[in-house]
Structure 1
Amino acid sequence: MLLGVLLILISLLSARLTPPVQAQGSDPDGSSAMAPTLQEQSDPFGLSAHTEKLLYHSQTGLVRFIGTSPGESIPQPSALPPDADSETAARSFLAFYGDAFGLINPQSELQTMLVEGADSGRSFVRFQQVYQGVPVVGGELIVQLDSQMDVLSVSGETLPGLNLSTTPEISADEAAQTAKIMVAKHYDLPSEELVVSNPELWVYNPVLLGAPQIPADRLVWRMEVTTTDLRPVRELALVDAQNGTPALNFNQIDTARIRYVWDNQNNPAIGLPGLDPENPDRSEGEGPTGNSDVDRAFDYSGITYDFYFNVHGRDSLNGLGNELISTVRYCHPSYPCPFANAFWNGVQMAYGQGFAAADDVVGHELTHGVTENESNLFYYMQSGAINESFSDIWGEFVDLQYDGAYDNDEPSKRWRMGEDIPGYPNGIRNMSNPPEFGDPDRMGSSNYACPTIDPYYGGDSGGVHTNSGVGNKAAFLMVDGGSFNGFTVAGIGMTKTAKIYYEAQ
């Protein structure tokens, strides 16, 4: 799953590059276009005759992406029944080529997560890898089919050769207690203020997440730890189900048109959503309050909703019209006040003073809710960087389309994230030139964060905010075009780019 979404985007972008990108070649600097460790390999699975791109996982050695040239497809290896649907076609293809992805028995090792239609008769089938019925963390495959049920692309990763017991020695309650103690210590919080979701058994190996840990297959209890007052803690915790030791933990906080806005007035004693949960400071249908934080959060959540609805036909974050809840001038006793950030906690938005003044920031944070309801990318390592980049891209698209009295749309502010936040006239990131803020514009950049010792990279969950610069640069080039890294890119504009990204997301 980690790079599957981004690989689709880059493959679509590559069709616009001059000179053409080779199927298994390298960048002019000698590094792979996808990852610094990716190297050209032979084709033991016989796929290269049908593909334009064939990429391998640097650690498992398995195929992680196959893609075709525009207008081409990979034929099914055997005839399909006349009434075959998308899932049947995808499974038929993987039944023949499954060994290329590390699958022995794809029929039993893959559970269907989602089947989704697209334009021109295309469809996507998303599978979850399971071992003896237990899902694998990060083990997913996405098959894209054309209208004739032939294959256009396959992306994703699996764990090969699994051989471990799926019977836990540690109970779910014991694992939940371990996770609670771990998170309480990490955030210096009383354990009674933490809530643990029902633990579920999963198989975990850090190679699929790119985590800097010893690669080993482990049966783990997976759960989520949050706080009773909805502060910015939403820890995904994995606890070894055989010995009870912590396997991995990271915060998933990503640091809608029924709208509600509460104003906490920089009072750390007030929780979320506000002092009186039944009486927001502004609700749908009410006029401006005169409080700029409240009114900007209300207005910008509305234009973000309108963007998704008008451009993509999407009804709010979950596609089903859920409420858009925001709290402005949020503070918490554990953080300096005013709170200099904004976050989505899985339920609502919270903004520190002034952070709702930027339409791209509001669009960014609300997009985390969209991503959670679609690809549901882990907020960790490369997956988290793609998650962050999605939010930057959609936040900027909202900014580029919206032209209001409080929005700075000068040409010099194009592609700058957060330029309307008070005190940040140049923004907090430059998507057209990520190195301006020390972020990488390609994976071979010296700015690219490769945490090999500290998996949290200074509290940034493996460099999610830093490494988002790679995806941001790709989006800029797709929209505006330009010369970069030895290639000339012909821009396709925001409308087409938005369509591609939304489909991939």
Structure 2
Amino acid sequence: MICDAKGRADVSWTCAGKRAAYARVEGQGASAVGDVNNVYDFFGDTADAYAGYAGVDLTRLIGVDYHDGKGRALRAAVRVCPQGYEGEWLCPYGGAFWDNGDVEEFVFGAGMATDDIAGRELTHAVISRTSKVGGAYQSAAINQGLSEAWGEIVDLTNGSKDDTPVNRWKIGEGSARGVFGDMRNPGAYGQPDKMTSDKWFGGSLFTSSDFGIDPFAVNSGVFDKAFYLVTDGDMFNGYTIVVSAWRRRRRSSGLCRTCSRRGRTTTMSSSRCRWRAGRTSVGPARTSARTTADRSTRPSAPPRWTRTPASVRRKTSATARPASR
């Protein structure tokens, strides 16, 4: 379920059909707003990836019911202008986040609804539901890295138009901010690719002045690089990482089978293709829409990821919602 904040400066955009009106619900035709359609499609792609590869129903796991007659759903708000820490309005907002406070929704600034960003934010919610991996220090780096890995899985397998060799492993391609990360070469965006890198952050305090990107997640570059290496193989740190012949066969046969979805050709495993062929809707049995959004934002520099700090979660009144990542 998608709501459209329409670029208004507002402290609340709960996707319940009130201050942020419903823009598209499950099974409804396309909207005239590109961000609405992108989130709708990319949430569907991510739900399909989790169902096909992990047997997980995202709506059941991380969906929310606002008792608005729409049932449990993934809910998101797009074209949001949140309020920064200094009271300034961030409009346009160059970020996206999962609001893991009271509303449990997904929030996207204008033009920030891409497949890898959507997959990443949904994965932050999955991690919160299924593990104790937190949002600070090296725990945050693992959280961010795993979320970026799932975002890239969605990006590499959903057949979207920007899935080109040049964009492979890039983060944020197609967004209003452009590319802001590279899992193949994290150092190009100020992140370490190994713990002995001079870009590795080992300090005791993270402050926003330490890095241009979200300081809590800077060390996720190590996870990103590892995920790239085990997927594509490469030379790194004096070693040659070789993708096994079995994996190459899988990638050139079963993993490269194509299916048609909403008019797009999608690459996926043969088993996932068969699984999808037997379905009549976009997600496994679900009661309603597959989207979500609401609440605060973060400071002027657009954040790389989306966990709401504990200090922010404690301040959830409808009149003063601080900024979140």
Query: TM-score, normalization: structure 2?
Result: 0.66
* 1:380 alignment partner, one of 136, 143, 154: 136
1:487 CA displacement = 1.4
1:457 CA displacement = 5.3
Q: Quickly say closer, same or farther: Cα 1:374–1:317, change in 2 above 3 A.
A: farther
1:349 maps to which residue?
Answer: 106
Q: Give the Cα separation in 2 of the matches to 1:449 and 1:367.
A: 24
Q: Give the Cα separation in 1 of the matches to 2:226 and 2:59.
A: 24
Q: Quickly say closer, same or farther: Cα 1:317–1:480, change in 2 above 3 A.
A: farther
* 1:340 alignment partner, one of 85, 94, 118: 94
Q: Give the Cα separation in 2 of the matches to 1:310 and 1:385.
A: 26
* Bigger RCO of structures 1 and 2 (CA < 8 A, at least 6 apart): 2
1:412 CA displacement = 1.0
1:463 CA displacement = 3.2
Q: Quickly say closer, same or farther: Cα 1:309–1:409, change in 2 above 3 A.
A: same
1:307-331 per-position Cα deviation (integer Å, ceiling 9, x unaligned):
1011111000664765210000011
Give yes or no for contact 1:449–1:462 (8 Å, CA) kept in 2.
no
2:115 maps to which residue?
Answer: 359
1:373 CA displacement = 1.1
1:304 maps to which residue?
Answer: 46
What RMSD in Å do the two structures reach over aligned CA positions?
Answer: 2.5
Q: Give the Cα separation in 1 of the matches to 2:242 and 2:52.
A: 26
Q: Give the Cα separation in 2 of the matches to 1:466 and 1:443.
A: 12
Give yes or no for contact 1:317–1:369 (8 Å, CA) kept in 2.
no
Q: Give the Cα separation in 2 of the matches to 1:365 and 1:477.
A: 23
SS in 2 for 1:299: helix
Q: Quickly say closer, same or farther: Cα 1:273–1:472, change in 2 above 3 A.
A: same
* 1:403 alignment partner, one of 131, 140, 159: 159
Q: Quickly say closer, same or farther: Cα 1:385–1:320, change in 2 above 3 A.
A: closer
Q: Give the Cα separation in 1 of the matches to 2:20 and 2:207.
A: 38
**Residue 316 (1) aligns with residue 58 (2):** yes
Report the AA paired with residue 316 of structure 1.
L
1:293 CA displacement = 0.8
Report the AA paired with residue 314 of structure 1.
V
Query: What are the residue-to-residue correspondences of 1:387-466 with 2, within 5 Å?
Result: 387-404=143-160, 407-424=161-178, 427-452=179-204, 454-456=205-207, 458=209, 463-466=215-218
Report the AA paired with residue 336 of structure 1.
L
Give yes or no for contact 1:439–1:448 (8 Å, CA) kept in 2.
yes
SS in 1 for 2:52: helix
1:262 maps to which residue?
Answer: 3
SS in 1 for 2:175: coil
Report the AA paired with residue 48 of structure 2.
D
Query: What are the residue-to-residue correspondences of 1:157-176 with 2, within 5 Å?
Result: none
Q: Calculate percent identity across the aligned residue pairs.
A: 32
Give yes or no for contact 1:385–1:463 (8 Å, CA) kept in 2.
no
1:371 CA displacement = 0.7
2:230 maps to which residue?
Answer: 478
Q: Give the Cα separation in 2 of the matches to 1:332 and 1:464.
A: 20
1:75-112 per-position Cα deviation (integer Å, ceiling 9, x unaligned):
xxxxxxxxxxxxxxxxxxxxxxxxxxxxxxxxxxxxxx
1:421-445 per-position Cα deviation (integer Å, ceiling 9, x unaligned):
1351xx1100011111111000100
Report the AA paired with residue 428 of structure 1.
F
Give yes or no for contact 1:438–1:447 (8 Å, CA) kept in 2.
yes
SS in 2 for 1:368: helix
SS in 2 for 1:355: coil
1:226 maps to which residue?
Answer: none
Give yes or no for contact 1:392–1:472 (8 Å, CA) kept in 2.
yes
2:289 maps to which residue?
Answer: none
Report the AA paired with residue 287 of structure 1.
G
* 2:80 alignment partner, one of 322, 330, 346: 330
SS in 2 for 1:295: helix
1:196 maps to which residue?
Answer: none
Give yes or no for contact 1:317–1:373 (8 Å, CA) kept in 2.
no
Q: Give the Cα separation in 2 of the matches to 1:462 and 1:420.
A: 20
SS in 2 for 1:399: helix
SS in 2 for 1:382: helix
Give yes or no for contact 1:317–1:366 (8 Å, CA) kept in 2.
no
Q: Quickly say closer, same or farther: Cα 1:278–1:333, change in 2 above 3 A.
A: closer
1:294 maps to which residue?
Answer: 36
Q: How many residues align?
A: 232
Q: Quickly say closer, same or farther: Cα 1:462–1:324, change in 2 above 3 A.
A: closer
2:284 maps to which residue?
Answer: none
Query: TM-score, normalization: structure 1?
Result: 0.43
Q: Quickly say closer, same or farther: Cα 1:422–1:463, change in 2 above 3 A.
A: closer
| Structure 2 alignment gaps of length 5 or more | 64-71, 252-325
1:270 CA displacement = 5.6
